[in-house]
Chain A
Amino acid sequence: MALLDVKGLTIKFGGLTAVSEVDMEIGDNNLVGLIGPNGAGKTTLFNMLTGVYVPTSGKIEFSGERIDGTKTYDITSKKIARTFQNIRLFKDMTVLENVMTSLNYQSKTNLLDCILHTPKQIKEEREMEEKALNFLKIMKLDGKANELAKNLPYGEQRRLEIARALAAEPKLLLLDEPAAGMNPQETAELTEMIRWIKEEFKISVLLIEHDMKLVMNVCEYIYVLSFGEIIAKGEPESIQKNPKVIEAYLGKGA
């Protein structure tokens, strides 16, 4: 059984069909790419997977459970986490606090514990902090744990977003253009990181990216979305040769 099973997923905004009849399957410990021209509906698909939008029709099954229509904040406990295309960090909080926030949903303390700083709370806090620091280490940010997120350089902000999503301990990690705005060296490092994360945590990754080198390099399977529809899917080699994909990217007659 697939980890993520999407069938006939469709969303309409008014008269506009943004995503139409999308079928998608992601297995355990897979690294899957989602590519397509601007405005194809990639982020909209992410938004449906994470409950930001409720699909007009179709269904999303995750670990054998229907999750379409689940509230965004409940998606985290279903073990899906995401990053954002336009970085959305908690800017005036420290790097460490940013990551610790994702661990919140696992917290077993109540309001009173928090107000009184009971031993239980202090213990939990310490465990969370250690866990969070560990994720920072993975993303090579542990040296900046106490800096405010907004003071990080751009590339590190991108990495912090991944660390924050990873800290939610997902089975499926959704990365929305993680390499956007990075220089080639940063992108190369990121590529390695993504690969390593997938192996180390045994999780699946769904990646939206425009950097074809990164996608072809790292993804085991690729879906191509154009005008809201899946126009091709397959291994990187076959996608590169697919005439439909070339047409979608470069236009007819190219």
Chain B
Amino acid sequence: MTTVDKTSPKTSISKIYMKYIINLIGVAAVYGIVIFLVQRGIIDSYNLRILKSAGIFMIAAFGLNLILGFTGQLTMGHAAFMSIGAYFSAVMTQNFNAPFAISLLVGIIAAGIIAGLIGYPILRLRGDYLAICTLGFGEIIKVVIQNIDYVGGARGMTSIPVKSSFMIIFFCAAACFALLRNLINTTKGRAIKAIREDEIAAEAMGINPTRYKMTAFILGSAMAGLAGGLYAHFNTFIDPVTFNYSKSFDMITYVVLGGMGSLSGTVVGTLLLVILPESLRALAEYRMLIYAVLLVGLMIFRPSGILGTKEITVKGIINLFKKLGGKGKTTANNGKVGE
């Protein structure tokens, strides 16, 4: 059902753009279906809220997947960049009456700049040491915010106006998805993946690892910043503890469970892990227990994530239907099969 499509050299530019238009229609169709279900009352306002929250974390998780799944750099402070985005955009809205788009933009840029400042010294560290440093920075950012009275310190910020509609969240997520999907099949994307695969070989082939790690880190963190801005204007309340390291861990889980290096995997992983605890609500106190058991079980039986590095594509789905219809031809499967 999944293919990594490689356009043959002969494909014309118009044909390539045609493919993008088809994807765009696909995205619009998904949006239409959700809205239809909402209007029919099949998705009630409570469930819509869960969907919105999943969409927000999905955006941050996309950014994390770029850093973790595609570049291979383990970062444990991703939620801190969400908090930067959330605080900057909330301050813009509340204290400067800025339009929502500007607030979000300020949040994105702030997260990107701080990621650049932090990333420059620490991205030369490898593996677990990088992970620990990012964890440390995440906690430092939390403590710093806790001590800034201007933004309410440990009490947080309250009554931020609700501006993150489902439409905005949905299309932001779709845009981030498209951005990354485009990026990874280009020179820059290949450089990033090469660093994940073998940093020494990548360097020998003319790739400056620090530069591309920085690119990925800044871009990924900026997405977390966007998600933070959306979260602030969705939840109306933010405090530093909302974005502590356990939130970072949650997002790592979304990415790894979905499949590192698979964007559709992140979609599946985030939806599953945001919705699962909600649907277990009836089990009351055993809810998180069962969630934890399922999580550990899934990791043991599916170590490379639900989708591995495969992607779900429109073409793949069409081919799946063809296959189910018994018409035969299976697609060339290019994705990684779980080991």
Q: Is B truly associated with A?
A: yes
| Interface range for A | 35 or more
State the Cβ distance, A72 to closest chain B Cβ, in Å: 5
Residues A89 and B207 in contact in the complex (CB < 8 Å), given A114-B189, A116-B182: no
What would be 19 A-B contacts, judged by CB atoms less than 8 Å apart?
A52-B200, A73-B207, A76-B204, A88-B201, A90-B197, A91-B197, A93-B193, A101-B202, A107-B187, A109-B186, A113-B186, A114-B182, A114-B189, A116-B182, A117-B186, A125-B186, A130-B9, A133-B9, A145-B6
A121 within 8 Å of B by Cβ? yes
Describe A's contact surface by its main secondary structure.
Answer: helix
B246 within 8 Å of A by Cβ? no
Contact A168 B206 (CB under 8 A): yes
B215 within 8 Å of A by Cβ? yes
Residues A96 and B189 in contact in the complex (CB < 8 Å), given A73-B208, A115-B183, A122-B16: no
B194 within 8 Å of A by Cβ? yes
Contact B13 A119 (CB under 8 A): yes
State the Cβ distance, B41 to closest chain A Cβ, in Å: 39
- From A52, A90, A126, A130, contact of B202 by CB (8 A): A90
Contact B188 A111 (CB under 8 A): yes
A81 to B201, CA, bound (A): 11
Residues of B within 8 A of A145 (CB): 6
A109 to B20, CA, bound (A): 20
Residues of B within 8 A of A121 (CB): 186
Residues A94 and B207 in contact in the complex (CB < 8 Å), given A107-B187, A115-B182, A116-B182: no
Query: Number of B interface residues, CB 8 Å?
Result: 36
A20 within 8 Å of B by Cβ? no
Q: Which of chain A's residues has its CB closest to B186's CB?
A: A114
Q: Which of chain B's residues has its CB closest to A128's CB?
A: B187
State the Cβ distance, A71 to closest chain B Cβ, in Å: 8
State the Cβ distance, A133 to closest chain B Cβ, in Å: 7
Contact A101 B183 (CB under 8 A): no
Q: 1/0 contact trace for B177-220 toward A, CB 8 Å?
A: 00100110011111101101110111111111100000100000
* New A-B pairs, 13, CB < 8 Å, besides A90-B193, A102-B205: A72-B204, A73-B208, A76-B206, A89-B197, A91-B197, A92-B336, A97-B190, A101-B191, A104-B190, A114-B186, A115-B182, A126-B9, A168-B206
Residues of A within 8 A of B202 (CB): 90, 101
- From B179, B194, B206, B332, contact of A93 by CB (8 A): B194
A100 within 8 Å of B by Cβ? yes
A82 within 8 Å of B by Cβ? yes
A77 to B188, CA, bound (A): 17
- From B183, B186, B207, B334, contact of A146 by CB (8 A): B334
Residues A122 and B336 in contact in the complex (CB < 8 Å), given A72-B204, A73-B203, A107-B187: no
Residues of A within 8 A of B187 (CB): 100, 103-104, 107, 109, 114, 124-125, 128
B266 within 8 Å of A by Cβ? no
Contact B193 A104 (CB under 8 A): no
A157 within 8 Å of B by Cβ? no
State the Cβ distance, B208 to closest chain A Cβ, in Å: 4
- From B182, B203, B206, B336, contact of A117 by CB (8 A): B182
Q: Which of chain A's residues has its CB closest to B8's CB?
A: A129
A76 to B194, CA, bound (A): 15
Residues A101 and B207 in contact in the complex (CB < 8 Å), given A114-B183, A146-B334: yes
Residues of A within 8 A of B209 (CB): 73
State the Cβ distance, A108 to closest chain B Cβ, in Å: 9
State the Cβ distance, B125 to closest chain A Cβ, in Å: 18
Q: Among the interface residues A82, A107, A119, which one has the most CB atoms of the partner chain B within 10 A? A: A107
A97 to B188, CA, bound (A): 12
B319 within 8 Å of A by Cβ? no
What 7 A-B pairs are tightest by C-beta distance, nearest first? A76-B206, A105-B206, A90-B197, A114-B186, A88-B201, A107-B187, A73-B208
